Amino acid sequence: MQVSSSLRKGRSWPAVLLLTIGFLGHVIAAYLNGGSSVAYLHHVVGFFGILVVTGALIFGVARLFGSGRADITLLVVAIVQALMGALVVYLERGAV
Given this model, what pLDDT does residue 35 score? 87
Q: What is the pLDDT of residues 77-95, one digit of tens each?
A: 889 988 888 888 888 777 5
In a domain, 45, yes or no: yes
In a domain, 80, yes or no: yes
CA 79, 80, 81, 85 dihedral sign is positive
In a domain, 39, yes or no: yes
Its pTM stands at 0.76
Q: What is the pLDDT of residues 65-77, one digit of tens each?
A: 876 778 888 888 8
Q: Give the domain extent around 63.
A: 35-96
Return left, alpha or beta for 4; rule: phi > 0 is left, psi -120 to 50 is alpha, else beta: beta
CB-CB contact of 10 with 71 (8 Å): no
In a domain, 46, yes or no: yes
Q: How many domains does the chain have?
A: 1
